[in-house]
């Protein structure tokens, strides 16, 4: 609407006498305002709605991302949900962007460092796409991100390093994927996480999920929230149960398996690259807090040993509880044994006294019976 009108007015002003322009400052101001309107309207995709800070391209049937030349540089919100996007272009010129919504599209492969220029981005939504894997450098540069939604995709793994730069993240959803297990080390950089959604995943509650269970317990102990349950699908005896309610004793066999593996194959110094966090890791809540806990540079410490040391706070709390309960039970048993012993002693002393008195009375009773025998004999003879 503005393009035709403003174009004609600008051309008319430009073809007028320069002297008249000098005498008409109002026209000059009007020209500036109209030129800004022309810039605003031309920097917007034809099928989208734009203003100074928002670009809304929701449900427009887009097959590709709009060109950057059609997007306002000052945009803070870019909404692209409910389209047919299967790939994304560069976001290099949108450095002011704070919210990006790419939900309900057909995205299946995102290149590394795709969002590296969006340092001000605080809200990223990738909900309901076709993502089966995420490159560990995908979120590089998103140091200001506070909310991340990758739910309802086909993710089967969260790679180590993916969340390392998202230390300010407070809300995360990985619900509705194909996650069987998660690495604790992948989530340890999230020191400010307050809400986590993990539901609707086929969790296998075996040794591979034991370490992450400990991390969830630490998260709950810190006072944060897990918005939904982590229900087990395997093994069968735990199907439908929330792993947070599964006793830790059911995972004791994992430590035995670790010991057997170390004994059979010797100490492991890392195994598969990136499969387990190093002992000397200094980030995250489970990191060593003193120099005595950090192994020497030349020592090869088995990974399971390192894992057990990192989970020491949880184990210590359980150990203290076990010691207290065992102490109470032992105290009660000891009191009962002391009472039984005292009762036995008193009963034995009373019985001994009774036997002594009985023995003293036995001779007297024998003499009386001897005197009575002749008379009984005479009575029996008369009869």
The model's pLDDT over 5-24, given as tens digits with 9 standing for 90+, comes to 444 444 444 444 444 444 45
Compute, in degrees rounded to 10, the torsion defined by CA atoms 230, 167, 165, 243.
-10
pLDDT at 240: 87
- The answer to whether the predicted template modeling score (pTM) of the entire model surpasses 0.85 is no
DSSP for 286-311, written as a single string: TS--SGGGSPPTT----HHHHHHHHT
Q: What is the pLDDT of residue 325?
A: 92
Q: What is the mean pLDDT of residues 339-350?
A: 92
Residue 97 has pLDDT above 60, yes or no: yes
Convert the pLDDT of each residue in 102-136 to its tens digit.
Answer: 999 999 999 999 999 999 999 999 999 999 999 99
pLDDT, tens digit, for every residue of 134-166?
Answer: 999 999 999 999 999 999 999 999 999 999 999
Specify the higher pLDDT residue, 279 or 50: 50
DSSP one-letter code for 228: S
Can you tell me the mean pLDDT for 82-89?
94
* Whether residue 253 has pLDDT greater than 80: no
At 180-239, the pLDDT tens digits run: 999 999 999 998 999 999 999 999 988 888 888 888 888 887 777 776 778 899 888 888
Q: What is the mean pLDDT of residues 371-383?
A: 51
Q: Which of the four pLDDT bands, split at 50, 70 and 90, describes residue 343? A: very high
Residue 51 DSSP one-character state: -
**How far, in Å, CA of 41 to CA of 10, rounded?**
15
What are the pLDDT digits (tens) for 278-335?
Answer: 444 444 444 444 444 444 444 444 444 444 444 344 444 566 778 889 999 999 999 9
Neighbour tally for 57: CB within 10 Å: 24
pLDDT at residue 371 tops 80: no
- Mean pLDDT of all residues in the chain? 76
Q: Do residues 160 and 186 make contact, with C-beta atoms less than 8 angstroms apart?
A: yes
Count of beta carbons in the 10 Å neighbourhood of residue 101: 21
Q: In this predicted structure, what is the pLDDT of residue 69? A: 80
Instruction: Give burial (CB, 10 Å; 0-12/13-18/19+) of 79.
Output: buried
C-alpha triplet 151, 56, 196: angle, nearest 5°: 20
pLDDT at 367: 53
For 303-318, how does the pLDDT look when each residue is reduced to its tens digit (9 = 90+)? 444 444 443 444 445 6
Cα radius of gyration rounded to whole Å, the chain: 41
Residue 6 pLDDT: 42
Selected residue with higher pLDDT from 4 and 90:
90
Which secondary structure element, helix H or strand E, spans residue 35, and what is its range? helix 25-42
Q: What's residue 271's pLDDT?
A: 40
Q: How much of the chain exceeds pLDDT 70, in percent?
A: 66
Q: Which residue, chain included where needed, has tokens 């993916």?
A: 162
């Amino acid at each position: 609407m503005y393009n035709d009108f403003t174009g004609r007015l600008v051309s008319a002003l430009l073809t007028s006498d320069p002297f008249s322009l000098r005498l008409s400052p109002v026209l000059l101001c009007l020209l500036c305002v109209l030129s800004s309107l022309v810039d605003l309207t031309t920097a917007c995709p034809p099928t989208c709605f734009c203003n100074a800070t928002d670009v809304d391209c929701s449900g427009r049937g887009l097959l590709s991302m709009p060109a950057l030349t059609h997007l306002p540089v000052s945009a803070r919100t870019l909404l692209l949900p409910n389209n047919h996007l299967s790939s994304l272009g560069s976001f290099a010129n949108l450095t002011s962007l704070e919210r990006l919504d790419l939900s309900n599209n057909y995205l299946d492969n995102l290149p590394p460092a795709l969002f590296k220029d969006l340092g001000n981005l605080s809200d990223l939504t990738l909900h309901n796409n076709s993502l089966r894997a995420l490159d560990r450098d995908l979120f590089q540069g998103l140091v200001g991100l506070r909310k991340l939604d990758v739910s309802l995709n086909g993710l089967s793994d969260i790679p180590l390093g993916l969340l390392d730069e998202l230390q300010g993240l407070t809300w995360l959803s990985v619900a509705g994927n194909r996650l069987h297990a998660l690495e604790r080390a992948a989530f340890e950089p999230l020191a400010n996480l307050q809400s986590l959604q993990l539901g609707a995943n086929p969790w296998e509650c075996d040794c591979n999920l034991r370490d992450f269970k400990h991390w969830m317990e630490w998260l709950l102990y810190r006072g944060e929230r897990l918005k939904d349950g982590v229900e087990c699908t395997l093994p069968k005896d735990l199907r439908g149960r929330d792993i947070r309610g599964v006793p830790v004793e059911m995972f004791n066999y994992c430590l035995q398996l670790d010991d057997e593996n170390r004994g059979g194959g010797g100490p492991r110094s890392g195994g598969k690259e990136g499969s387990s966090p190093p002992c000397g890791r200094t980030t995250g809540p489970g990191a060593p807090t003193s120099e005595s806990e950090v192994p020497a540079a030349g020592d090869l410490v088995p990974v399971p040993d390192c894992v057990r040391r990192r989970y020491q706070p949880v184990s210590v709390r359980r150990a203290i509880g076990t010691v207290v309960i065992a102490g109470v039970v032992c105290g009660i048993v000891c009191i009962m044994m002391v009472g039984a012993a005292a009762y036995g002693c008193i009963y034995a002393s009373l019985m001994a006294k009774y036997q002594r008195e009985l023995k003293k009375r036995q001779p007297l009773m024998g003499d009386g019976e001897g005197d009575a025998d002749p008379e009984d004999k005479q009575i029996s003879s008369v009869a």
